[in-house]
Amino acid sequence: MLRLRVLLLLTFGLAPRIFAVMYIVPADRFEIERASAIIVGRVLSSHVEASRYGIETVTDIALEEAIRGTPDNRFRVHEPLVPGVPEFADGERVLLLLYQRDDGEYTVLDLQLGAFHLVNELALRNASAIEGWDHDGRMHREQQRSAEPFLAYVRGIVRGEAIAGNYFVANRATQPLRPTSSFTATSYTLYYSGGRGTRWNVFPSAVNWNQGNSETGVLGSGTPEIAAAFSAWNAGGTNYVLASAKANPNGFLDAFDGVNNIVFEKNLTSAGVPPFNCSSGGALGMGGMTHADFGSGVHVYQGETFGTTLEADVSMNQGLGACTTVSSDQFKTVIVHEVGHTLGFRHSDQNRQLTAACSTDSTLDCSSAAVMNHILLSGLNGKLQQWDKTALSSVYGSAPACTPPSITVQPAGTAIISGNPAQLAVTASGTGPLSYQWFTGSSGDSSAPVNGGITATISVKPLFTTSYWVRVTGACSPPANSSAAVVVVNPLSCPFVVLDAPRATEVSDGFQLSINASGGTSFTYRWFEGATPGAGSELGTGNPLHVQPSTTTSYWCRVTNHCGNTANSSAVTITIVPKSTRHRAVRH
């Protein structure tokens, strides 16, 4: 299902997001009491559509029971299109605690906390997706609920009855975590389309971050915790820098803005996450990354292909700053954990999709004692543990990273005679394999690719002066665009026009003017009346040309060849003798 959702996201032209949510898990009574609506129903189908909140998954549910609220027989549930939100299979029976947004639509309350799957007489939440503490400060361990007693409890709370919560049952035993050994770098990362992990490809260059606002209340501003989190991860080869503190409300669920931003007191209600409640808990925050997974959006590191991270964000839930129930240790560890997700890391005790225990996948290094454990451990005070350090070394270690392509020798322009070819060449470096695509036009304008122009050296034969450039793509982004090279097209070498003297031949009804020309082809002939070549009025075109002068008149011809060279002839005079039946032509 995760892969399907990512593919649907790409259909809408958006870069996928990877993230995780941190909770202080409230008691069931608290979640039930603050739910806008509570329904039992059967899932019909899910589809993707756009709303004012972005691209969302909309699940149609056939209503079986409305425990709270009066929805229609067919109910629609909206969710942000990101991994980590509840997922539903067509035909399954569900109990949903819902939150009504300001646009009137419903979404699952607190993401995974409000979704119960009614399976085998149990009401099950996705335990692998719920990480954090209970409201009393203990690490949260998701318990299984007997479906009918739990439904009776929910109905009783909604009716305002005093009812005991005797619905928990013993969980099935889980497999122990395996000892660590040698694993791939990808195995330490979150799952992305095609099985790839994601990582930044710029270190040791800095990745700059902005603190969009400050936390308020007893927890302080949040700035020292951010600095401590960056310092912890940077010790292993990354280079996160808190470079600015400009006001910026954009967090993980907002439109991509090119800013790596950490924002506190973030309104997450569009995703069905109400403000954090100091006495009962709720979602602490979420963090993750964006990246491309096509073309230049991938790179190779230590022989493995990764999606290239382009932007990351951390959003901490509103209401958190006013709480004394969250300790400074927890606050610091949460931020270190969320920053770890922005580096691409999965949970140490879960699979890469965050849907099952790590021990179910033999290719994964597993640990239940790490900052990146899905159930946050108390007492770590934001310190990386051995699994965290191993993941950091594997994904951002000292091995040579992929080098993006660069142009070392730019293509050079040239001049050719029309009809002849021109050779264009570029020299590039970077982690291979390198591929090439030539284009016509200004550098960066990819609207006119050259047919067959896919090698470092190409031959072209333009009909007129044309600019060419080449894009070089390597194993990692960004691609390199060359400067434009201009091929100047000159006309063929053109001979001068050479003319004999024009002739005037007497015919029955006048005279016929003619001339012989050489030096080229496709001549055009323009005859003029006048004694001085280059001056006079144009008479007509063609060779020969028929004329009927009534008085003595001089003529000359202008001849142009195929490539535009022109020559003027000498003049020929036709003398008209009065009162005589004989005319004679005289050449001058």
pLDDT above 60 (res 585): no
**Per-residue model confidence (pLDDT) at position 292:** 52
Q: Give the mean pLDDT of the chain.
A: 83
pLDDT above 80 (res 210): yes
List all residues 6 or more positions away from 161 whose beta carbon is below 8 Å from its beta carbon.
none
Q: Whole-angstrom Cα distance, residue 220 to residue 334? A: 15
Length of the chain: 588
CATH 2.60.40.10 domain position(s) in the chain: 406-490
* Residue range 450-456: mean pLDDT, rounded: 93
Q: Confidence class of residue 543 from pLDDT cuts 50, 70 and 90?
A: very high
Q: Whole-angstrom Cα distance, residue 285 to residue 281? A: 12
Task: Count Cβ neighbours within 10 Å for each residue of 175-214 and write b for 16 or more, e otherwise.
Answer: eebeeeeeebbbbbbbbbbeebbbbbbeeeeebebbbbbe
Count CB neighbours of 132 within 10 A.
22
**Per-residue model confidence (pLDDT) at position 572:** 94
Widest distance between CA atoms in the chain = 142
CA distances from 306 to 298, 484, 534 (A): 6, 31, 75
* Residue range 553-562: mean pLDDT, rounded: 91
Q: CATH assignment of 498-587, given 3.40.50, 3.20.20, 2.60.40, 1.25.10?
A: 2.60.40
Instruction: Give the pLDDT confidence of 39-49 residue by residue, as tens digits.
Output: 998 888 888 78
* Residue range 167-196: mean pLDDT, rounded: 69
Asked if omega into 204 is within 30° of 0 (cis), the reply is yes
pLDDT above 80 (res 174): no
**Per-residue model confidence (pLDDT) at position 521:** 84
- Cβ 376 vs Cβ 131: under 8 Å: yes
The second-level CATH assignment, the architecture, of 2-10+28-126+141-169 is Beta Barrel (2.40)
* Residue range 485-506: mean pLDDT, rounded: 87
* Residue of 188 and 183 predicted with greater confidence: 188
* Residue range 61-77: mean pLDDT, rounded: 81
pLDDT above 80 (res 377): no
pLDDT above 50 (res 284): yes
pLDDT above 80 (res 207): yes
Superfamily of chain region 186-395: Collagenase (Catalytic Domain) (3.40.390.10)
Superfamily of chain region 406-490: Immunoglobulins (2.60.40.10)
pLDDT above 60 (res 179): no
User: For the chain, what is the total number of helices (H) and then of strands (E)?
Assistant: 6, 38
List all residues 6 or more positions away from 281 whose beta carbon is below 8 Å from its beta carbon.
23, 24, 25, 26, 30, 133, 134, 135, 325
Q: Whole-angstrom Cα distance, residue 95 to residue 117? A: 6
Q: Whole-angstrom Cα distance, residue 374 to residue 192? A: 18
Q: Confidence class of residue 1 from pLDDT cuts 50, 70 and 90?
A: very low
Instruction: Give the pLDDT confidence of 114-162 residue by residue, as tens digits.
Output: 999 988 788 999 887 787 788 777 778 888 999 999 999 999 999 999 8
* Residue range 302-328: mean pLDDT, rounded: 85
* Residue range 11-16: mean pLDDT, rounded: 32
CATH 2.40.50.120 domain position(s) in the chain: 2-10+28-126+141-169
What are residue 537's phi and psi, to 5 degrees? -100, 140
pTM confidence score = 0.49
Q: Which residues are 518's β-sheet partners?
A: 498
* Residue of 436 and 293 predicted with greater confidence: 436
In terms of DSSP H, where are the helices of 235-366?
328-342
* Residue range 423-439: mean pLDDT, rounded: 89
CATH 3.40.390.10 domain position(s) in the chain: 186-395
Question: Among 87-96, 131-140, 505-514, which is the least confidently predicted range?
Answer: 131-140
Q: What radius of gyration do the chain's Cα atoms show?
A: 40
